[in-house]
Structure 1
Amino acid sequence: MDIALIRVDDRLIHGQVVMGWTQALGIQQILVADDATAANPTQKNLMLLAVPAGVRADILSIADSARIVEQSGSDVKTIVIVKGPRELKALHDAGMKMTEVNVGNVHTGPGRKRLTKEVHASDDEIAIWRELSDQGVRLEAQWLPGTARTDLGKLVAGLSHDHA
């Protein structure tokens, strides 16, 4: 598998965003790494309806996703999508190599701080973003191809630890 993009987006496969990235990068396959979605046939089937024509999609557990990427010798251009920082860390800890991650959409909610217009995080998630960044994973917050990018690693590193 040729991993063209690893993306964090709490909507996982989402029409407008997935179409933008698949077209911009020439994506041939989408791999969703999410334990809950992989275990829910109804949610999985509904999500697969949003896959662009001509693009293959798989929704697998995090462990299965990491294993398949590791073992695949194919050159199919793939986007890997996870729901949030916890899932990204689990994928990283399961052995998926990642040097750069696109962080697209992580919703707001109680106890969550706004990091960028589209990215919000709890204190625990900020700690995860920091940890991944400290391990050499470049975190770029970017909504769609061609839109402005924010260095999320630098942003979370600059937050005081008592506010994060």
Structure 2
Amino acid sequence: MGNPNILLTRIDNRLIHGQVGVTWVNHLGANLVVVANDKVASDEVQQNLMDMVLPDVIQTRYFTLQKTIDIIHKASPRQKIFLVVKDVQDALTLKEGGVPIDHLNVGNMHYEEGKKQISSTVSVDENDIEAFKKLDELGVELDVRGVPNEKGKNLLELL
């Protein structure tokens, strides 16, 4: 089993949308977007809506977290993977399950009751902060950035 060619892992609670589907995919040169999320893995309507955003030449896969952990190492070297997760807990589950995530782009985590806003697009609660600290301890670089041409900020410095 080889190391999968994961170009970037991004947290975005919207998963695939215009910004991810066009800007990030083009910037990275990805040819496969893998959405790792237990709920979306079984929601064909949501999958079809997300597929409509992407150019036809970009493939998508919608896997549960466990299936992602089980098969990511079987990816072909030709697959240039952009891995998208909904939240930091999903990212931590993947990392602890052996998915080689070295760099995590934190793009969008909506504000909701009980969360504090740390950037214009990222809000966190205590559980999120704890998960980010664990990822940091596991050697994952945490970068807050909406679009590729923005200067990234170290998430830990924003907490």
Superposition TM-score, scaled by structure 2 size? 0.92
Which of 136, 139, 145 is 1:136 aligned to? 139
Distance in 1 between residues matched to 2:19 and 2:100, nearest whole Å: 27
Query: Counterpart of 1:47?
Result: 50
SS of the aligned residue for 2:73 comes to helix
Query: Counterpart of 1:17?
Result: 20
Query: Counterpart of 1:159?
Result: none
1:31 deviates by 0.3
Pair 1:30-2:33 in alignment: yes
For the 8 Å contact 1:33–1:59, the answer to whether it is kept is: yes
Which of 101, 110, 115 is 2:113 aligned to? 110
SS of the aligned residue for 1:70 comes to helix
Pair 1:7-2:10 in alignment: yes
1:14 deviates by 0.7
Could you tell me which runs of 5 or more consecutive residues in structure 1 were left unpaired when the two chains were aligned: 157-164
For the 8 Å contact 1:138–1:153, the answer to whether it is kept is: no
Pair 1:77-2:77 in alignment: no
Q: Which moved more, 1:39-48 or 1:93-102?
A: 39-48
For the 8 Å contact 2:19–2:147, the answer to whether it is kept is: no
Q: Which moved more, 1:40-49 or 1:82-91?
A: 40-49
Distance in 2 between residues matched to 1:66 and 1:153, nearest whole Å: 26
SS of the aligned residue for 1:126 comes to helix
Classify 1:40/1:17 alpha carbon distance in 2 versus 1 (closer, same or farther; 3 Å). closer
State the one-letter code of the partner of 1:132.
Answer: L
1:53 deviates by 2.5
Q: Which moved more, 1:147-156 or 1:88-97?
A: 147-156
Pair 1:124-2:100 in alignment: no
Superposition TM-score, scaled by structure 1 size? 0.89
Identity %: 29
Runs of 4+ in 1 over 4 A off after TM superposition: none
Query: Counterpart of 2:61?
Result: 58
How many residue pairs match? The answer is 156
Distance in 2 between residues matched to 1:75 and 1:84, nearest whole Å: 27
1:61 deviates by 0.6
